[in-house]
Structure 1
Amino acid sequence: MLVLFVLAFGLFAILNPRVFLNPINLQNMMVASPEVGILAIAMALAMLTGGIDLSLVAIANLSAITVSTMFTAIASSDPATAESLGGFIALIGVLVGALAGAVNGFLIATVGITPILATLATMQIFNGIAIVWTGGKTLYGAPAVLSSVGQATVGGIPILFLEFLVVAVLIGVLISRTPFGRRTQLQGANPTAAMYSGIRSTSVLYGTYVTTGLLGGIAGLVFLSRNPTASADYGTSYVLLVIVIAVLGGTNPTGGFATITGVVLATLVLQVVQSGFTAIRLSAYEYAIAQGVILIAVMVFDQVRVRRRPRRAPSSQTETIALAEIPRA
């Protein structure tokens, strides 16, 4: 992914440096990547358990609609109070995401429904709630604190992009440095071994899908930070996109392995390609083709690398352990 990022950035910088390397364009790329990137991190976390979460975009939209509705309802009678409660309203939106994730966790961990079917159903339910709630219309209005965050920069770097990096670091630490992360990896790699190791799959799955819902709620706030509007159909193309990003980033779709650094780099690669295609005046349809080509190329490279890897003979330590397991007469 790092090589692809450097190659893509260098290619479009050569093809149209005046547009692509314009500071405004670079800032726009950093502003656009967080909402997709956070959802891709959530998708990678769900895939780590061997599952998937198709409801992430619906959760993000439901969170954004909740925040917009609460804010405009309060602001209609007391704008000052609405602004002062902006942080609390945003927190409610994130909690709505976590609650939606808990619903997914219940269906998957307790009821036992396959993740792809459970989250497909909840995606439809959350979308339906959002459409009924808004009447199919776009809602306008969000706390000024979100808009200010969406426009602010630190040293020329948008705060939204810095927030994306913070989320990535936190989830990366959660996966690689905590007992929960190790249990999650084992659950995805080998559920049977996890069960015999004393790992409660129910608690792991609940924790995973509540976290993905929480990230979906944060993505909803990012939606509002970029544009103070909320609707039920925003980002409908993001579902497949975040799956592509998660897999490109090195996440094993069958579970057991995910690298958040890879997901971040994959997000940036596709954002660079999208911006580069715009700079050289290619269409969104051609960008969709490029997504598929990149995904296939990475998968082919990965398969070639695996097949060329030499098979290693068992170590003496492995042989010793195996011999020790043989019952003696």
Structure 2
Amino acid sequence: INLSVVNTAAMSSIVGAMTIAKLYSAGEGSPVVSIVVGIALVLAVALAGGLLNGYTVSYVGVTPMLVTLATMMLFEGVGLLLSKGNAISGFPKSFMWIGSGKILGVPFPMILFIIAVIAYVVLLEHTPWGKRVYMVGCNPTATMFSGINNKKVLMKVYLLSAACGALAAVIIMSRYNSAKVDYGSSYMMKSVTAAVLGGANINGGYGRVMGTVIAVLIIQSISSGLNLLNVNRFLSDVVMGLLLLSVLTINFISATVKDARKKRQTAVKISA
């Protein structure tokens, strides 16, 4: 679980927003130039954050949850330091198309989402590298002895996660026509809940992209339903927390029952 991906997006969006606003207000070239340079910096900063996570986890050997918890606070602090807690705005109007534009009636963010889903399905479930990712998550020791470089696999995973954070940062910047550190603060719990609800094993080794997609749709349906019912928005966090706790409990009980069943079957075979 990468706890820092939301703050990676927040930090990179602040850097990108400051760049776009400065270049556009200074009249340095066309709006397209400021947008391209800003997006490039968003990606570069996000990848730098992913590199820090990946190196600390894979090469230093610190527990992933502890590393990403620390970098989550680090990235948030950097974003606050740069923006002084304020929203950064002043983008070209054309930049808003990324978050609100349509192609043949389909919202552009939805098109990006579909492309990302297809890419992840192919990458994780139909390539040798994707199989290595599952193997490292399932049994890193056995994977290492089979000749796979665990460190490189983990590094690429964190870089890929950071790239997704950069994509999310650009979309949020465009939709809000500004950037602020706390714009994506509510998505951390939702992203973890979606991954676990979608079937991802919290200990690694199992998970399916389409399961996560279905989980995202379920979570968004719940969130939208609560909004339509005019339920207190803070109750949404309570619901997400209870949902995550329930799924984790069910997964733990299910795994315990399966282990007990395997032990009984093994004992029966030995006695026979």
TM-score range, shorter chain: 0.7 to 0.9
Aligned residue type for 2:138: A
**Cα shift readout 1:198-239 (whole Å, capped 9, x = no counterpart):** 111110111111111111111111111211111122222322
Any residues of structure 2 matched to 1:200-219 within 5 Å, and which? Answer: 200-219=149-168
Segment drifting more, 103-112 vs 81-90: 81-90
Q: Select 1:166's aligned residue among 106, 115, 122.
A: 115
Q: RMSD value over aligned CA atoms? A: 2.5
Q: Larger radius of gyration, structure 1 or 2?
A: 1
Q: Offset of 1:301 from its aligned partner?
A: 5.6
TM-score by length of 1: 0.73
Aligned residue type for 1:205: L
1:285–1:76 distance in 2 versus 1, CA, 3 Å: closer
User: Within the alignment, does 1:228 sit opposite 2:177 as a pair?
Assistant: yes
1:71–1:242 distance in 2 versus 1, CA, 3 Å: same
Structure 2 CA distance, aligned partners of 1:65 and 1:303? 39
Per the alignment, in what secondary structure is the counterpart of residue 76 of structure 1?
Answer: helix
Number of the residue aligned with 2:187? 238
Structure 2 CA distance, aligned partners of 1:137 and 1:303? 42
Q: Select 2:132's aligned residue among 171, 179, 183.
A: 183
Q: Select 2:201's aligned residue among 252, 256, 264.
A: 252
The answer on whether the counterparts of 1:65 and 1:130 sit within 8 Å (CA) in structure 2 is yes
Per the alignment, in what secondary structure is the counterpart of residue 139 of structure 1?
Answer: coil
Q: Offset of 1:303 from its aligned partner?
A: 6.2
Any residues of structure 2 matched to 1:254-293 within 5 Å, and which? Answer: 254-293=203-242
Q: Offset of 1:103 from its aligned partner?
A: 0.9
Q: Offset of 1:92 from its aligned partner?
A: 2.4
Structure 2 CA distance, aligned partners of 1:155 and 1:260? 26
Structure 2 unpaired stretches of 5+: none
User: Within the alignment, does 1:103 sit opposite 2:61 as a pair?
Assistant: no
1:263–1:105 distance in 2 versus 1, CA, 3 Å: same
User: Within the alignment, does 1:77 sit opposite 2:26 as a pair?
Assistant: yes
Structure 2 CA distance, aligned partners of 1:301 and 1:112? 30
Number of the residue aligned with 2:68? 119
Structure 1 CA distance, aligned partners of 2:144 and 2:189? 31
Q: Offset of 1:145 from its aligned partner?
A: 4.2
Aligned residue type for 2:206: F
1:305–1:133 distance in 2 versus 1, CA, 3 Å: closer
User: Within the alignment, does 1:149 sit opposite 2:98 as a pair?
Assistant: yes
1:60–1:287 distance in 2 versus 1, CA, 3 Å: same
1:273–1:156 distance in 2 versus 1, CA, 3 Å: farther
